């Protein structure tokens, strides 16, 4: 069997400033043709695709994989280019026997609010009904009916922090294996719930998501079907935003009943998606008094994994206002990096750090720093999140500032792997407090060393208080509605 593999992956924050360019994709993850097979060494969906396909003796036809760190709306020309390139490469060796696609599911382009749905439609139309297509998506996908039409399954992650991508890739292979060599196609049922929930409340090891995910696993085991929930990405003000449920199998009536039942279960718990952070002042005060270290200060409104700029300064400013020491904070600030490089290792530098992308995440903080280390900012993930991935932060400087560690890099990087700090000689276990610019994903890197966790009510475009965001009216109503949106015909 000849199976084509590829995908386009971007979580788009429509409240973020600036546009996402092709260079942003190339700077994070980009592979064409045979280079895509290098992902066999990663615990990603692609790694699962490749491992599962090789176990079955399939010929893998590597197409294209492009991913960018979550950020603003994708330039339309970039979306068009990547879509065309992926379609061309999927069919470069003739029509394959099957296709495995990995998408985020919450991508937004300048003139297309649902490019993931459009891409799946175009792929299905290009290969015809005889070629089964299986799609994996992120836990925070904003799914539309378009993405579920004509495919064998839409498989979302089961975990947040996301640590099961490889497993979901292998699950996709299993579904595809069941479809190859037969003309019988699976039914896919998709439901949208008019429910927007903050990522801060979607942690799958805590209620209500723990209960919801257990119900999903029970349904799959008891009924022999595939079920996925995607709580959605609330920082995209588009029609397909919000909670989705999909199920696939061969009995459409049963699937519809299961999805309706699960939807009722989710909505019965809608009031449990709570997020109760402390003010910045109270959070810093509590951290300063804590006898347990390290304290994790969660700056989730500047969540890099949700599209924020990663240069929020309000916790740093408050910490330094009280002349505290022992804090570790990372900031995306190419200007500060340039100043540190000009000064050189072992020299002092006086520079404004952070707060330069927009006016929503704090103001620049003037620091007198000692340049302790300069790096190329490259590190490989060794933990549970996309193990094997190579991340490039660009030039990076470690500054010692009044007993604190301020790390500045040319590009923002999601704090999902401890190697981000360890590669720079910084071990968070030996510091008083660590600021993580993440909602939940940071737990994959630092959950096992966190002595105390303090959720902080910082300002920013990834705030857990969704009512602060300037949604259009349809999304604002989703914060309080309780009815299920009828499925498309």
Q: How confident is the model at residue 200 (pLDDT cuts 50, 70, 90)?
A: very high
pLDDT digits (tens, 9 = 90+) for 27-58: 999 999 999 999 999 999 999 999 999 999 99
Give the residue among 112, 140, 134, 238 at the shortest CA–CA distance from 188: 134
Q: How confident is the model at residue 480 (pLDDT cuts 50, 70, 90)?
A: low
Question: Of the ranges 162-176, 411-425, 472-486, which one carries the lowest mean pLDDT score?
Answer: 472-486
The pLDDT of residue 481 is above 90? no
User: What's the rounded Cα separation, in Å, for the pair 117 and 103?
Assistant: 10
Mean pLDDT, residues 345-360: 97
Lookup: tokens for 33: 């043709």
Ramachandran angles phi, psi of 51, nearest 5°: -60, -45
Q: What integer pLDDT is reported at residue 86 of this predicted model?
A: 98
Question: Of the ranges 202-211, 287-296, 452-461, 472-481, which one carries the lowest mean pLDDT score?
Answer: 472-481
Q: How many CB atoms lie within 10 A of CB 307?
A: 27
pLDDT digits (tens, 9 = 90+) for 358-382: 999 999 999 999 999 999 999 999 9
Give the residue among 232, 203, 198, 404 at the shortest CA–CA distance from 301: 198
Q: How many CB atoms lie within 10 A of CB 430?
A: 11
- Beta strands at 98-103 and 133-137: parallel, antiparallel or unpaired: parallel
SS3 463: coil
Q: What integer pLDDT is reported at residue 484 of this predicted model?
A: 42
Lookup: tokens for 316: 């740093």
Whole-model pTM? 0.96
Give me the percent of the chain exceeding a pLDDT of 90.
Answer: 96
The pLDDT of residue 488 is above 70? no
Q: What integer pLDDT is reported at residue 181 of this predicted model?
A: 81
Give me the percent of the chain exceeding a pLDDT of 70.
Answer: 98
Q: What integer pLDDT is reported at residue 482 of this predicted model?
A: 38
User: What's the rounded Cα separation, in Å, for the pair 451 and 323?
Assistant: 22
Mean pLDDT, residues 281-286: 98
Q: Quote the mean pLDDT of the chain.
A: 96
Beta bridge partners of 245: 191, 229
The pLDDT of residue 487 is above 50? no
User: What's the rounded Cα separation, in Å, for the pair 335 and 341?
Assistant: 10
Mean pLDDT, residues 152-178: 98
Lookup: tokens for 213: 């995910």
Mean pLDDT, residues 426-435: 97
Taking each helix axis from N to C end, the angle separating 252-267 and 209-223, rounded to the nearest 10 degrees, works out to 160
Whether residue 47 is preceded by a cis peptide bond, meaning omega within 30 degrees of 0, is no
Q: What integer pLDDT is reported at residue 446 of this predicted model?
A: 98
pLDDT digits (tens, 9 = 90+) for 212-251: 999 999 999 999 999 999 999 999 999 999 999 999 999 9
Q: What integer pLDDT is reported at residue 485 of this predicted model?
A: 43
Mean pLDDT, residues 50-79: 98
Q: What is the 3-state secondary structure (H, E, C) of 264-320?
A: HHHHCCHHHCCCCCECHHHHHHHHHHCCCCCEEEECHHHCHHHCCCCCCCHHHHHHH
pLDDT digits (tens, 9 = 90+) for 166-184: 999 999 999 999 999 888 8
């Amino acid at each position: 069997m000849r199976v084509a593999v590829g995908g386009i992956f971007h979580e788009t924050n429509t409240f973020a400033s600036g546009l996402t360019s092709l260079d942003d994709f190339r700077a994070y993850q980009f592979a064409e043709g045979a280079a895509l097979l290098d992902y066999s060494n990663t615990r990603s969906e692609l790694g699962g695709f490749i491992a599962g396909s090789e176990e079955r003796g399939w010929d893998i036809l590597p197409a294209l994989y492009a991913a960018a760190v979550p950020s603003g709306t994708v330039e339309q020309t970039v979306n068009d280019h990547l879509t065309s390139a992926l379609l061309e490469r999927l069919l470069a060796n003739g029509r394959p026997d099957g296709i495995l696609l990995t998408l985020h599911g919450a991508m937004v382009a300048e003139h297309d609010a649902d490019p993931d749905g459009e891409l799946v439609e175009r792929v299905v139309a290009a290969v015809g009904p005889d070629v089964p297509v299986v799609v994996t998506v992120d836990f925070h996908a904003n799914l539309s009916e378009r993405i579920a039409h004509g495919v064998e399954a839409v498989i979302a992650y089961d975990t947040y922090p996301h640590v099961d991508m490889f497993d979901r890739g292998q699950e996709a292979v299993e579904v595809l294996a069941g479809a190859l060599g037969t003309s019988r196609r699976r039914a896919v049922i998709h439901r949208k719930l008019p429910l927007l929930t903050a990522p801060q409340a979607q942690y799958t090891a805590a209620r209500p998501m723990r209960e919801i995910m257990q119900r999903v696993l029970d349904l799959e085991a008891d009924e022999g079907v595939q079920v996925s929930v995607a709580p959605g990405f609330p920082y995209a003000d588009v029609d397909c935003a919000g909670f989705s449920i999909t199920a696939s199998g061969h009995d459409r009536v049963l699937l519809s009943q299961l999805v309706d039942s699960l939807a009722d279960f989710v909505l019965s718990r809608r009031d449990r998606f709570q997020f109760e952070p402390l003010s910045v002042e109270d959070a810093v005060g509590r951290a300063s008094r804590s006898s347990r270290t390290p304290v994790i200060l969660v700056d989730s409104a500047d969540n890099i994994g949700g599209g924020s700029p990663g240069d929020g300064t309000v916790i740093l400013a408050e910490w330094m206002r009280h002349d505290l020491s022992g804090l570790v904070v990372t900031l995306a600030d190419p200007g500060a990096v340039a100043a540190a490089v000009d000064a050189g290792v072992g020299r002092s530098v006086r520079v404004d750090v952070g707060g330069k992308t927009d006016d929503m995440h704090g103001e620049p903080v003037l620091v007198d720093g000692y340049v302790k280390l300069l790096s190329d900012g490259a590190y490989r993930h060794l933990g549970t999140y996309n193990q094997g991935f190579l991340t490039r932060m660009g030039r990076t400087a470690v500054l010692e500032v009044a007993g604190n560690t301020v790390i500045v890099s040319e590009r923002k990087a999601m704090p999902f792997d401890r190697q981000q700090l360890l590669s720079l000689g910084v071990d968070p276990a030996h510091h008083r407090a660590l600021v993580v610019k993440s909602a939940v994903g940071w737990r994959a890197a630092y959950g096992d060393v966190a002595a105390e966790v303090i959720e902080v009510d910082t300002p920013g475009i990834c705030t857990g208080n969704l009512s602060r965001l300037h949604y259009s009216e349809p999304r604002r109503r989703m914060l309080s509605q309780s009815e299920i949106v009828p499925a498309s015909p």
